[in-house]
Every structure is written in structure tokens, then in C-alpha cells.
Amino acid sequence: MLRPNSKTTLYISNKVFRYAITIFIILTLNFFIPRMMPGDPMTNMLGEGARWMDKAYLDELRAEYGLDRPLHEQYLTYLSSLARFDLGYSINKSLKVKDLLMERIFWTLLLVFPSVIIGGAVALILGSFAGFRQGSMMDRLMTSLLLLLYSSPSFLFAMIMVSIFSFHLGWFPLGNFASGKMHGASYVLDVAWHLFLPIAILSLFEATYTYLVIRNSITQILGEYFIFVARAKGLSNRVIELQHVIRNVLPQFISIMALNFGFMVSGALIIEIVFSLNGMGTLIYDAVISRDYPVMQGAFLVLTFFLIAANFAADLLYGIADPRIADAKDSI
Amino acid sequence: MSQGGLLVVRGLSVAFKTQKGTVQAIDGIDLDLNENETLAIVGESGCGKSVLGHAIMRLLDDIAVVRGSVRFREKEVYEMDTTALLNLRGGLISLVPQSPSSSFNPVITIGKQIEELIEKAGKEKGNGARKRALEYLSLAGFSEPELIHKSYPHRLSGGMCERALIAMALSVEPELVIADEPTKGLDALSRKNILGLLHKLAKDASMIMITHDLKAAETCERLAVMYSGEIVEEGPTGIVLNHPRHVYTKGLIDAQPSRGMTPIKGRHNLFSHNAEGCRFKERCDAASNECNNHPMLSKVEDYRKVRCCHA
């Protein structure tokens, strides 16, 4: 159990210290890995023309973006800018990286946050249902359907959905976040209408893996001796399922949800492309293609923070869901 | 023995269908238990004694094929509807499960797990259930019942879990307690304490103690020895242990550390349950041609039955 005592404080400060080290290592990798890729932003920006470009002009351009200086100097500048929350300018888009990220994160969260929640809830409900009625018609049907979905490429599925519901039936728009020129409530409704299909598809894909884990986890818990003891106590199946089994699934559920939240910022890339949604996924994709170092650094930084925050939250929730883990924390 | 006893078991057989063939876990068990009587069922691992305990409470999986009859207070257990059955389990019949450390749900406090049984059995509600849980924890010898009540199972040792399980099983004042290996894995002192506690708390109930520990069995009035799914000897504990009539019972007694730990020759295997004739003949020094006919459990003295043609 999470108790506000000195042990918990010690545990949290211990964790924060470890996360700080992790973040520093990731920041460093975020700087070096993009620069280890072949090509550079200038060549990319100028395209074919770079070959005939005056060498002096190219060097001038590189100097303008600070790309001519030795790598370790650039690294130090990068770190000191980060310390001032300055993420720099996008080379390709000529915008402040910070502004670019803010806008994109908003839309990505609007797309992915509901999907993770809905997907998780659907997986928990269907997974429990199938787990408790293992071998039944419903279980076999749902499990094979979700397994099929899990192993099929999401872009294909998304494109089929768009083709059916948007193109042929015309129920939903083909893409984008909004139609434009709308305000107030009608704008909100318009956005919801635009996001319905992508959220539905993302939710389904979020649900597949979680469903399979929950279902198998329930099978395993049903075989535990304490479930036999609960039956020997004359408890009804309902009480056993809802109070004895589901509570034991929660730690595992929390860890998957945390991972899903962590990856959600980048994970929607394919859906963003299919629905022409300009979120984090497409931003990272464009930045990688154009070797836009500052944008890559900034975007990866955001991903890092999301993943670490999700893990931290999961760590705290574990202790509530499973008292054995809370005790292990105390003994650090 | 009287037909109107608390528990009457007739011709109870349980078979499990496995990929290697059918395993006859217990075969044609007849058992009578009167009110306030204590019966020990002994036998080596795999003889079917736990299956018998579970079969009495109709707790076996769907893959088990059960034949015969189990009547509790003259009601057929295998004909009860769900409500009656849930009322029987953890109400009229309480199980003290084996493996104490895995019997409690790891994410629910001990107190909550005891209270849910008390409330289910309709004994007390809310705060009353809490008070009763605390009362039984202190009866089980915990000096700080409150602390145990709010603890999660992993914080308790095996012996403490066993005591908490006994407190839980007895908190509903059952008419029959089935204690499955209550002394398994305990040292001599804890064993003595646990047995004392069990008999103290169950003094108003009947008890079936399933065990392979003859020292534990000695604390019960009657003793049934099981081999390969059958009862091979049954009678008052003192008489059976001091004057065993079946070769297997003698073997069990001589296998005790205090009696020189002489092992019984050969090995018991699951499929000997299906063997023709006497199931013990392969391991028996006295085996003769007669043993190829399956012996009946027959009365050899008053209150004493043996399944052996040489007895």
C-alpha cells in the first residue's frame, strides 16, 4: 500500500534519481543517433541541386545552422539550450521546434489518449469474458478475430475501413482533423466526427494485444490454488470472478496500459498517415526523412518523457494493485 | 454403523480421463461419520485421500467422472441445486485447505477473506463479521489479531497462514470440518500446536482429517487407511495402530521415523488403481493365489473392517 511515510519518500526519491540518469543517457543518444545517419539536412533540403551547389555556399549554410562546428561543441550547445528549455529551430520547417511540438502533441493526444482508454477498457471486458468462458463459442470467435486483427498490418485494415466507411458509405470524412471555418460547438462536433474512425481503429488495435494478455492471465489465475479455496468457501462464481480473479489481473493490466500510454505518442504514425492527420507520428517521420536534427531531438525528448512518466505512474500504481510489490519497495 | 449419521458415503468412485488412460482415483468408497466424530484418512500421496475430501464437497473439476452417493444430513450432495451447494460449502462443511501459503488470495487482506466467508455463510454482516473474524483470529492464537486482520498473506509465515486458515474455516461454525494435510511441512512443535488448535476450535463439529502423518491421525477417534483409491482398513484409531491387520497398515506404521523408517517395498503407481485382484499384492510379502480375486472390505471384529483375504 502507498503510505505517506519516510520509506515511500525514500522510494520515490530513489526512483527519481534513477530516472534522471536514464533521461540523461537518452538525451545523449537523441543527439548522436540522428547524426550517425547518412546524409545531412542541407543536402536533403537542397535535393539534387546540392551536387552542383557552390561548396562555399553550402559551408555557409551549414555554418548558419551551426552544423560546421565539431560534434562535441554542438553537443554542449544542445545541452545548454535544453537547460534553458530551448529546443531550437526546425531546419526544414523554419519554425520553433517548441511551437511545432506543442501543436502536434495536442492533436496526437486527442487521437491516442481516448484510443488507449477505450482499447484498454474493451480489452479488459472482452478478455475477462473470454477468460472466464474459455473454450466457449464466444471465446473462440473473439479470440480468433482479435488474433487475426493483431497479426494483420494496421495500415491495410485502416485503408479498408476508410474505403468502406468514408469512400463508399460516405459516413465519415477521408482525413484531417477538421473541415475548417467552424467555431464553438459545431467545431468540436466536427473534430469528433473526423476523429471517430481513426480512434475506433486505434482502439481496436490497442485492444488486441491487451485482450490476449488478459485472457491468458485469467486462465492462469483460475488455475491457482486460492481460487480452488474460494470455491471451497462456497463463494459464487460472480464473487470469485469479480473479486478474486480480476483483482489479480490488475497489476498486469496496469503495466500494459502504462506501456501503451508511453508508446502512444509515436505509435499512431500509420493511422496518422492513412488519415492525413498531422500529429507527432508524421512529424517524426518527416524529420527523419529530411534529417531535421532539432525536430528529431525535440520529438524524441517528448517520447522519452512520456515513456518515463508512464513507467513512473505504473510503478506507483503497482503498489496499490499488488501489496507484495509495495512491500518490496519498502525494503529498498 | 448407523445409517442416520451426519455423513453417509456409498460406493463413491471418481475417475479422471487423461491422455494416458482413465485413472480411477477412488473406487467404491463407503464411509459413515456421526456427529461429533473425528476420522483420520491416511495413505501415501496419490492414494486418493484428497480427492475423496474434495468429492464429498463436490469440488472436483468437470473432467472428473463421479459415481456413487454422498449424503450430508440425509441430503444427496450430488443432487443439490447451486444455492444449496454454495450453502453446504463453507457453511455446513468447511475445508481447511492444504498448502497454507497459496491458499489465500495474495492481493486481499486476511481479514477481508475471513469476513467474506462469514458474510456469505450469513453468520454476521459488516462490523459484526469483522468482530467475529478478529475473535477467531485470537482463538487461533494470534496475540495481535488486528495486525493479522489487515495483513496481506505474504507477510505471514506458513504456520501463521495455517492458523489463519483454521480460524477462517471454523469462523462459520461448520458441522463438518475437512482438514486436508493440516500438518504438512510443519516442524514437530508447530504440528502439535496446529493439531491442538484444530481440535479445540472444531470441538463442536465432526472432522475428517486427511493426512499421511500417523502422529496427526492418532488425534482422531477413527482411522481409515487408503491404498490405491480404496479403504483397506478401518476402525478405532488406537486398535488399528496398535494391532494392524492389513500388511499395508503395518508397513505404514513401520515406515515412521520412530519405528526405524523401514520403507514399504515397491512403488505405488496411478494405474495400479485399475489392477485386477488385490491392488497391494505386488508389494505384499504374504501374497498368494487367492489375492488374484479382488478382496472385499469385510468386518473382522466389531467396529473394524479390513480388505485382505489373509486378515
> What residues of B are in contact with residue A232 (Cβ under 8 Å)?
57, 59, 89-90, 95, 97
Q: Which three cell numbers stand for residue A15?
A: 526512483
Residue B138 lies in a domain: no
**Tell me, what DSSP letter sits at residue B42?**
E
pLDDT tens column, A151-167: 888 788 888 888 887 77
User: How far apart, in Å, do the first and last CA atoms of chain B sit?
Assistant: 21
For residue B256, the domain's CATH number is 3.40.50.300
Q: Report CB contact under 8 Å: A234, B103.
A: no
pLDDT tens column, B38-71: 999 998 888 889 999 999 999 998 889 999 999 9
Q: How confident is the model at residue A332 (pLDDT cuts 50, 70, 90)?
A: very low
> What residues of B are in contact with residue A327 (Cβ under 8 Å)?
152, 154-155
Cβ-proximal residues to A12 (8 Å cutoff; 6+ apart), any chain:
none
Residue A98 lies in a domain: yes
Which residues of chain B have a Cβ shorter than 8 Å from any chain A Cβ?
A: 57, 59, 82, 85-91, 95, 97, 99, 102-108, 116-117, 120-121, 152, 154-155
> What residues of B are in contact with residue A248 (Cβ under 8 Å)?
105-107
Q: Report CB contact under 8 Å: A232, B85.
A: no
- Cβ neighbours, 10 Å, residue A9: 10
> Does A3 score more than 60 pLDDT?
no
Residue B136 lies in a domain: no
Which of A224, A227, A233, A240 best probes binding to B when mutated, by most B CB atoms within 10 angstroms?
A: A233
How far is residue A65's CA from residue A77's CA, in Å, rounded to a whole number?
12
Average pLDDT estimate for B7-30: 89
Q: Which of A229, A235, A248 sits opposite B97 (nearest CB)?
A: A229
Average pLDDT, chain A: 82
Angle B188-201/B158-170 helices, nearest 10 degrees?
10
**Tell me, what DSSP letter sits at residue B143?**
S
How far is residue B236's CA from residue B302's CA, in Å, rounded to a whole number?
10
Q: Which of A123-127, B7-11, B174-178, B256-260 has the lowest mean pLDDT?
A: B256-260
> Does A198 score more than 60 pLDDT?
yes
Please count the residue pairs, one from chain A and one from chain B, whose beta carbons lie less than 8 angstroms apart: 74
> Does A289 score more than 80 pLDDT?
yes
- Cβ neighbours, 10 Å, residue B206: 21
Q: How many domains does chain A have?
A: 1
> Does A171 score more than 90 pLDDT?
no
> Does B262 score more than 90 pLDDT?
no
Cβ-proximal residues to B133 (8 Å cutoff; 6+ apart), any chain:
B111, B114, B115, B118, B149, B167, B171
Q: Which of B104-108, B115-119, B155-159 has the lowest mean pLDDT?
A: B155-159
Angle A280-289/A246-267 helices, nearest 10 degrees?
50
Per the CB < 8 A criterion, the answer to whether B194 and B215 are in contact is: no
How far is residue B240's CA from residue B249's CA, in Å, rounded to a whole number?
8
Which of B105, B151, B175, B178 best probes binding to A when mutated, by most A CB atoms within 10 angstroms?
A: B105
Q: Which run of H or of E encompasses B70?
A: strand B64-72
Q: How many domains does chain B have?
A: 1
Q: Report CB contact under 8 Å: A226, B116.
A: no
Q: Kindly report the nearest CA distance between residue A209 and chain B, in angstroms.
A: 25
Q: Report CB contact under 8 Å: B116, A322.
A: no
Q: Report CB contact under 8 Å: A234, B121.
A: yes
pLDDT above 70 as % of chain A: 90
Q: Which of A230, A247, A327 sits opposite B107 (nearest CB)?
A: A247
> What residues of B are in contact with residue A323 (Cβ under 8 Å)?
106-107, 152, 154
Q: Which of A228, A236, A248 sits opposite B86 (nearest CB)?
A: A236
Q: Which of B273, B304, B301, B266 is nearest to B287 (CA)?
A: B266
Q: What's the burial of A215, exposed, middle or buried (CB within 10 Å: 0-12/13-18/19+)?
A: buried
Q: How confident is the model at residue B105 (pLDDT cuts 50, 70, 90)?
A: very high
Residue B135 lies in a domain: no
Q: Report CB contact under 8 Å: A233, B57.
A: no
Residue B186 lies in a domain: no
Q: Which of B107, B120, B152 sits opposite A235 (nearest CB)?
A: B120
For residue A301, the domain's CATH number is 1.10.3720.10
Q: In what order do the strands lie in the sheet with B21-33?
A: B21-33, B7-18, B64-72, B75-76
Residue A58 lies in a domain: no
Q: Write out the DSSP string of B234-295.
A: EEEHHHHHHS--SHHHHHHHHTSGGGT-PPPSS---GGGGG-SS-TTGGG-TT--GGGGSPP
- Is the model more confident about B217 or about A187? B217
A323: helix, coil or strand?
helix
Residue A64 lies in a domain: no
How far is residue B78's CA from residue A64's CA, in Å, rounded to a whole number?
87
Residue A166 lies in a domain: yes
pLDDT of residue B3: 46
pLDDT of residue A329: 62
How far is residue B46's CA from residue B58's CA, in Å, rounded to a whole number?
19
Q: Which of A234, A248, A324 sits opposite B89 (nearest CB)?
A: A234
**Tell me, what DSSP letter sits at residue A92?**
T
Q: How confident is the model at residue B211 (pLDDT cuts 50, 70, 90)?
A: very high
Q: Kindly report the nearest CA distance between residue A103 and chain B, in angstroms.
A: 43
Q: Which of A2-16, B148-162, B297-311 has the lowest mean pLDDT?
A: A2-16
pTM recorded for the entire structure: 0.82
Q: Kindly report the nearest CA distance between residue B84 and chain A, in angstroms.
A: 10
How far is residue B119's CA from residue B110's CA, in Å, rounded to a whole number?
14
Partners of B12 in the beta sheet? B29
Range of the domain at B234: 7-82+222-306
Q: Which of A57-61, A142-146, B23-27, B175-179 has the lowest mean pLDDT?
A: A57-61
> Does A134 score more than 90 pLDDT?
no
Average pLDDT estimate for A278-293: 83
Q: Kindly report the nearest CA distance between residue A219 and chain B, in angstroms.
A: 15
Q: Which of A208-222, B136-150, B184-198 has the lowest mean pLDDT?
A: B184-198
pLDDT of residue A2: 47
pLDDT of residue B2: 44
Q: Which three cell numbers stand for residue A67?
A: 552544423
Q: Which of A33-37, A73-77, B82-86 has the lowest mean pLDDT?
A: A33-37
Q: How confident is the model at residue A267 (pLDDT cuts 50, 70, 90)?
A: low
Q: Kindly report the nearest CA distance between residue B73 and chain A, in angstroms.
A: 18
Q: Report CB contact under 8 Å: A327, B108.
A: no
Task: Enumerate long-range contacts of A165-168, CB under 8 Å, 24 or more apart.
Answer: A165/A197, A166/A197
> Does A125 score more than 60 pLDDT?
yes
Q: Report CB contact under 8 Å: B105, A226.
A: yes
pLDDT of residue B158: 86
Q: Please name the amino acid found at residue A122.
A: V
Determine the residue of chain A that is closest to B170 in CA distance: A233
- Is the model more confident about A286 or about A63? A286
> What residues of A are in contact with residue B57 (Cβ under 8 Å)?
232
Residue A57 lies in a domain: no
pLDDT of residue B129: 94
Q: Which of A228, A234, A323 sits opposite B107 (nearest CB)?
A: A323
How far is residue A312's CA from residue A16's CA, in Å, rounded to a whole number?
9
Q: How confident is the model at residue A48 (pLDDT cuts 50, 70, 90)?
A: low
pLDDT of residue A331: 54
Q: In degrees, to the nearest 5, what angle opens at C-alpha A228 toward C-alphas A223 and A229? A: 140
Range of the domain at A115: 6-37+87-330
Dihedral sign computed on CA atoms, order B148, B154, B155, B160: positive
**Tell me, what DSSP letter sits at residue B227?**
E
> What residues of A are in contact with residue B90 (Cβ under 8 Å)?
232-235
Q: How confident is the model at residue B274 (pLDDT cuts 50, 70, 90)?
A: low
Q: Which run of H or of E encompasses B69?
A: strand B64-72
B23: helix, coil or strand?
strand
> Does A12 score more than 80 pLDDT?
no
Q: How confident is the model at residue B271 (pLDDT cuts 50, 70, 90)?
A: low
Average pLDDT, chain B: 89
Q: Report CB contact under 8 Å: B107, A233.
A: no
Q: Which three cell numbers stand for residue A281?
A: 507520428
